[in-house]
Amino acid sequence: MNRDKIIIVEDDEITSLNLNISLQKYGYSIIGVYDNVEQVKMKIATVNPDLIIIDISLDESNDGIELAQYIKEECNIPFIYLTSYSDDEIIEEAKLTEPYGYIVKPFDPRSLHATIQIALFKFSQEYTRANTVKTLQIDKKNLENLLYAKRVADTPIVPFGEEYHLDINLFETFYQNKKIRLTKKENAFLRLLVAQLGSIISFDQAREYVWRENGATENSVRTLVWRLRSKLPTDVIKNASGIGYFIEE
């Protein structure tokens, strides 16, 4: 039987009861059901849940999103949203917290179970990748060596993703052989990702290599990635929630 520990954050008594019963039938251990953000924070501080289910609209507000942001930044615990909202604006706001799933009420227990299993698997994969991140200092010389080793034959071309390539001589990125116009920092961050395909580039590594000066923050990295993603034709940059980013090898 599955004994993954789950916290439920839901202010509707009937929904929270149905969640509790449904998840226990699938073998989950429910270690708390709360309708208050502060109670959840206190519980997280004393136990180590495997996953948290969060209703976005606690007390008819967006406290659920605020809680999710806290969990993402401070706790490194996977969470999924359960909500009656399907409004595009709310979904867009919720997406910024990078949840591991999104279930709309009324929920189907089988779909919820599947979403939880996928979330737990994805989180475990990210954790494994994080533990394999190289701790050596990233500087210009060793980055160039990593890229040189990945090039195609005697060309300056380093392929990645689907139909992308990096020209390490021109310091430019191409998709389907068409150049993508990027800023100097965007190009630097992409080179960093391509040099270590399959490994997570942490926020600290990104700040150290891309900015090389004081003042850059984790939000600086997030903003850079957001702008970079908007320029890339496909979603090639993947999140490692609360840790950093990577491109699959």
Supply the pLDDT for residue 54: 92
Q: In this structure, are residues 105 and 15 in contact, taking their beta carbons and an 8 Å threshold? A: yes
Supply the pLDDT for residue 237: 93
The mean predicted confidence, pLDDT, of the chain is 85
Which position has the token pair 């900015």?
211
179-226 tens-digit pLDDT: 999 999 999 999 999 998 888 888 888 888 888 766 788 888 999 999
* CATH code at 140-246: 1.10.10.10
Phi, psi of 5 (to 5 degrees): -90, 130
How far is residue 19's CA from residue 159's CA, in Å, rounded to a whole number?
46
Please tell me if the domain spanning 5-131 has the same topology as the one spanning 140-246.
no
* CATH code at 5-131: 3.40.50.2300
Confidence band, pLDDT 50/70/90 cuts, at residue 12: confident
- In order of 68, 72, 86, 241, the CA distances from 96 in angstroms are 10, 10, 15, 11
Burial class of residue 6, CB neighbours in 10 A (0-12, 13-18, 19+): buried
Provide CB contacts within 8 A for 107, sequence distance 6+. Answer: 18, 19, 22, 82
pLDDT surpassing 90 at residue 87 = no
Which position has the token pair 């969990």?
71
Supply the pLDDT for residue 190: 93
Q: In whole angstroms, what separates CA 109 from the centre of its chain?
A: 25
Domain edges within the chain: 5-131, 140-246
pTM of the predicted model, to two decimals? 0.57
Count of CB atoms within 10 A of residue 228's CB?
Answer: 22
pLDDT surpassing 60 at residue 133 = no
Supply the pLDDT for residue 117: 93
Supply the pLDDT for residue 134: 45
155-179 tens-digit pLDDT: 999 999 989 999 988 889 999 999 9
pLDDT surpassing 60 at residue 1 = no
